[in-house]
Amino acid sequence: MLFHSSYFLFLFLPIVLILYFVTGKYYKSLYEYILVAAGIFFYAYWDIFLSPIIIISIICNFSLGNLIKKNIDKNKKKKILIFSIIFNIIFLAIFKYADFLIQNLNFFLNTKIDLVNLPFPLAISFVTFQTIAYLVDCYEGNIEKNNLIRYSLFVIFFPQLIAGPIVKYNHMMSQFCNVNNRIFNYRNFNLGLIIILIGLSKKIFLADNLATLVEYGFLNYENLSFYESWLTSLCFTFQIYFDFSGYIDMATGIALLFNIRLPQNFNSPYKATSIINFWQRWHMTLTHFLTNYIYFPWARSLKNLNFFNTMIVTFFVFVIAGFWHGPSWLYVIFGSLHGVGLIINHVFRKLFSFEINTIIKCFLTFNYVNLTFVFFRAENIHVSVNIIKGMFGFNGFDLPNFLNFKVDVILILLLSVVVTFIFKNTNYLMENFNLSNNKKK
């Protein structure tokens, strides 16, 4: 069930909203069961046969979290935590990376192992990172009041289930447990609808239209000239942003209808002035997870913590980030290039004290990101190399063949540039939205 489907917008969402506010007002905790049931139904709508997977994951991790919390012995707590993290990584690897591993074994060892072709459960990557953060919070004593229903709600709250953001247990539960958040709020409702509309516009009008030129370009990669290669890459760079941020906007707006605020996940990333700054603005909750749950623990474990070692850790953290996106070496290349970009930024800051003009920094950063996204979208190395060769002029400078029948898409690309670099983002709207009648009724 997609956020922009009529079934979701005009049937599922209104029913859940009505049940949420009615039960929240007259029944103490029934609203939790309503939201959990809605989340399970939402998940099952994608593939009912995969529903047991998320339910098993919820029960197992809730039990593991309780074992961690209840154990007084610090060494035993740590062992349970390590086991819990490994369990979740294996769980993710089985469903997402099993065939990738088999393919590589067959290639490098010349074996003929059959692919398992396991189904890909919805949102398993986001759920895994979110769960690991929860388990670490249990270990550090940050989780106090908890039960299976609340933990289930934390995992399967449907607005942030598809594409995040990656949320923290205490951040979400403090809102769900707030009695005032179960009372209909006109300001949040109106603001939520506006943000949903913005997200729908990004997704349907911008991203989906840009996708037509992207599809054409990546299918005809061998014949793309300089101009066609740049149009193809730029269209995808804006497509992925408006697709992803559009979904996040819809998730944010939908959650706000329930008086729940999801953490910010985008902050005008294409205005970034460095790759460091880009990851402070792009998929911010993923950056927070990578920093706090992979980078810092890894860096602290080093016997000799110096600049060189921290750069090595930085690089491999982003290799992991790339691989997290999907079972493909192209995602590894994407992550590696961002790791290299971060190292270059850090080395520049360490060795040089002069400042580069902000516009130039933004231009260089955007074009580097645009280049890396070619690997993110391409189906194989050959496709990505051909498009990048075209971008550097190796395939000639002929005018685009598809200009005649894709002028509308090029106009949408220009509109995307204007929206990205001139308009305020939805976070600004959320902080500055005013409604004359701002009463809770």
Q: Which residues are catalytic?
A: 325
Q: Give the bridge partners for 440, in sequence order.
A: 185
Give the angle 98-102-104 at the CA atoms, nearest 5°.
120
What is the identity of the amino acid at 298? W
Residue 185 φ/ψ, nearest 5 degrees: -120, 115
What is the spatial distance between Cα 367 and Cα 286, in angstroms, rounded to a whole number? 22
CA distance 391 to 397: 10
Long-range contact set of residues 15-18: C-beta below 8 Å, sequence gap at least 24: 16/158, 17/257, 17/258
User: What length is written for the chain?
Assistant: 441
Contact at 8 Å (CB) between 42 and 16?
Answer: no
Identity at 324, one-letter amino acid code: W
Instruction: Report d(CA 200, CA 250) in Å as an integer.
Output: 7
Q: Radius of gyration (Cα) for the chain, nearest Å? A: 23
Burial 29-48 (b: 16+ CB within 10 A, else e): eebbebbbebbbbbbbbeee
Q: Residue 100's closest CA among 331, 296, 407? A: 331
Closest by Cα among 15, 83, 29, 416 to 237: 416
Q: What is the distance between the alpha carbons of residues 215 and 231, in angstroms, rounded to a whole number?
A: 12
Per the rule left: phi > 0, alpha: psi between -120 and 50, beta: everything else, 268 is left
- 397 Cβ contact list (under 8 Å, min separation 6): 225, 226, 227
Q: Please, what sign has the CA dihedral across residues 58, 59, 62, 64?
A: negative
Q: How many CB atoms lie within 10 A of CB 336?
A: 20
- 8 A C-beta contact, residue 412 and residue 403: no
